[in-house]
Amino acid sequence: MRQIWKTSALAALAAGLLAAPAQAQIAGEAATYEVDGSTYQGYYARNSQLEGDRPVVLIVHDWDGLGDYERQRAEMLARQGYAAFAADLYGQGVRPDTLEGKKAESGALYSDRQEMRDRLAGALRQLDGLAGADADRVVAIGYCFGGSAVLELARSGRDLDGFVSFHGGLGTPDGQDYTDVQGEILVLHGSQDSVSGMGDVADLAGRLDGADVAYSMEIYGGARHAFTVWGGDRYQARADLQSWAALEDFLERRIW
């Protein structure tokens, strides 16, 4: 069990995560690309002063589409020496700002899993053309809807170094399983998640055990769905920072 940090330590780590070192030259820019004739706009961040190609973290957004949150997470990873590419699964300019719009965009991909896989694969194809990115060392991470998408990517058999779900939907679609998973899975989840409760956590663990998949899980007591979203009413600082530390450990072990 990871040690529970004191409040002062949490505050210090938060400041370190969110403040860029003076010497870092973080280059962040929009990255427009096409998948099956449709245009998408991701976001790419890296430290331009680091030499050589860097291991890559692919970030998949929440159900509201790629926005400031994912761009900030990408820049945090760039400060740590990674090349971070935030994918766009909705299409350029499609950023729903109503509950109905978010349900419609995410629901369309939940209903068409092959389309979800195609868009994820399209984002991964962009890595070869990104300056400073090592497309042979990749971990995919996702938040909420993005966590579900990352598990979909894992089930598709994509050969990546790892897959990380932050408070994602953990249900397995009918007819799918984890027998084709090629990389290690990390699940970071709250004990009071209203989208995927502890029953879903146990079910996923059973499926991963049955498929002999390398995986680990961290469950944060009292944390609700979207516990990493800054400023949200379900944000929990301790779970946010502990899950980020777990990601750092995972990345260092898998692709550094």
Q: What is the pLDDT of residues 190-202, one digit of tens each?
A: 999 999 999 999 9
Q: How far apart are CA 119 and CA 122, in angstroms?
A: 5
Q: What is the pLDDT of residue 16?
A: 46
Question: In this model, does residue 140 exceed pLDDT 90?
Answer: yes
Q: What is the pLDDT of residue 23?
A: 54
Question: In this model, does residue 168 exceed pLDDT 90?
Answer: yes
Packed helices 113-125 and 99-111: angle between N→C axes, nearest 10 degrees = 90
With contact defined as beta carbons under 8 Å apart, do 155 and 210 qualify?
A: no
Distance set, CA 232 to CA 176, 179, 225, 229 (Å): 33, 36, 10, 6
Average pLDDT for the chain: 92
Question: Model-level pTM?
Answer: 0.91
Which one-letter DSSP state was computed for residue 1? -
Question: In this model, does residue 10 exceed pLDDT 80?
Answer: no
Q: What is the pLDDT of residue 11?
A: 43
Give me the residue spans of the domains in the chain.
27-255
Tens-digit pLDDT profile for residues 28-82: 999 999 999 999 999 999 999 999 999 999 999 999 999 999 999 999 999 999 9
| Residue range 6-17: mean pLDDT, rounded | 42
Question: In this model, does residue 18 exceed pLDDT 80?
Answer: no
Tens-digit pLDDT profile for residues 20-38: 443 578 989 999 999 999 9
Per-residue confidence band for 124, with pLDDT thresholds at 50, 70 and 90: very high
| Residue range 132-140: mean pLDDT, rounded | 97
Reading phi first (left if > 0) and then psi (alpha if -120 to 50, else beta), residue 128 is in: alpha
Q: What superfamily does domain 27-255 belong to in CATH?
A: Alpha/Beta hydrolase fold, catalytic domain (3.40.50.1820)
Per-residue confidence band for 114, with pLDDT thresholds at 50, 70 and 90: very high
Q: What is the pLDDT of residue 48?
A: 93
Which amino acid is present at 26?
I
